[in-house]
Amino acid sequence: MSFEAYEIELHGHSMVYRRAGEGPPVVLIHGMVNSSRHWEKVALLLAERYSVIAPDLIGHGDSAGPRGDYSLGAHASRIRDLLAVLGIDRATMVGHSYGGGVAMQFFWQFPQRTERLALISSGGLGPDVSPMLRSAALPGASGLLSVVAHRRVVAALAAAGGQLRAIARAMHPLSGPGPRNAFLQTLRSVIDGRGQRVAANDRLYLLDHAPTPTLIAWGGRDNTIPVEHGRAAHRAIPSSRFELLENAAHFPHLEDPAGVARVLTRFLETTEGVCVPDSEWGSAIGGRSSPRKATSASGANQAT
């Protein structure tokens, strides 16, 4: 079985995705400076029972990197459009790191298309993030990044081994100005010098109210995003499942692909995919409060 790449044009720009297997659809969304290739081992294990689709987000992998919108919502909309072209109405959404934020955004925007949600060492669940990512979000980081990502520097880091090899792996896709620009636009849409500035914590209750089966899995040695973010999200979504992957750090799908495939398969096989129609979305959102007449300072002044 192979994890073959395909290319389509969406809104005038090339988008590449990889696909394997047949069965209920599962969408794998990569993180920043990653691509669909990083899902290969997990995808081939899942493909024995499922139809696996892994897109290269715009500005990542082999997809185009145009000047434009690199927000979570824009990425989610492009995935919706890709699935529409492929004739897929609903799917289980799986996201790693930044891709977890995209997967959650996909659910907020298109709940009727989200059968299940799985978050792996996900961003968007709290402010804490590694100092390296906070630094990369600062003004002036572009010049420094161009030096660090130079091919010779990356080769030297890779040869040094250890933790430096992981840094080299992250820097390798950023050797060109186009990918670096897309990375910085994506990064700065969610992170600043103080950490993650976009969080979904105020909307996690919807996953219970909708309700949508939710899995939260985390690398036990993750030093990029703390595991406590995942545990807190699990507490905020009482119906969710939490899985700790002890043999992995921030990239469980690369460091323990068999473990990721195992927890995903168990989740898929023991939950029922849902469809939340638009007619029920309002009641899910409004479950915590009822509309009331608004008052304003200007209105109060006019009345006196």
Report the pLDDT value the prediction gives residue 150, as an integer from 0 to 100.
45
Active site residue 222: yes
Domains defined for the chain, CATH in brackets? 1-126+199-285 (3.40.50.1820), 128-197 (no CATH)
Q: pLDDT, tens digit, for every residue of 107-126? A: 999 999 999 999 999 998 88
Per-residue pLDDT of the chain (304 residues; tens, 9 = 90+): 789 999 999 999 999 999 999 999 999 999 987 899 999 999 999 999 999 999 999 988 889 888 888 899 999 999 999 999 999 999 999 999 999 999 999 999 999 999 999 999 999 888 877 766 666 666 655 555 554 444 554 455 455 555 545 544 555 555 555 666 777 777 777 776 777 777 888 889 999 888 899 999 999 999 989 999 999 999 999 999 999 999 999 999 999 999 999 999 999 999 999 988 887 888 778 655 566 677 765 555 554 4
Residues with Cβ within 8 Å of 106's Cβ and at least 6 positions away in sequence, in order, are 76, 79, 80, 93, 113, 114
Exactly one of 63, 97, 122, 189 is catalytic; which is it?
Answer: 97
pLDDT at 70: 87
**Coil vs helix vs strand at 215:** strand
What is the rounded (10 degree) CA torsion for 252, 255, 257, 261?
A: -30
pTM (global) more than 0.85: no
pLDDT at 153: 45
Burial 270-302, CB ≥16 within 10 A → b, else e: ebeeeebeeeebeebbeeeeeeeeeeeeeeeee
54: three-class secondary structure by DSSP? strand
State whether the Cα torsion 231-108-94-254 is positive or negative: negative
Both tokens of residue 301?
């002044």
Does the active-site annotation cover 250? Answer: yes
Q: Find the catalytic residue in 60, 250, 253, 256.
A: 250
Selecting among 121, 122, 222, 253, the annotated active-site residue is: 222
Distant-in-sequence, close-in-space partners of 155: CB < 8 Å, separation ≥ 6: 168
| pLDDT tens, residue by residue, 131-152 | 666 666 666 555 555 544 445 5
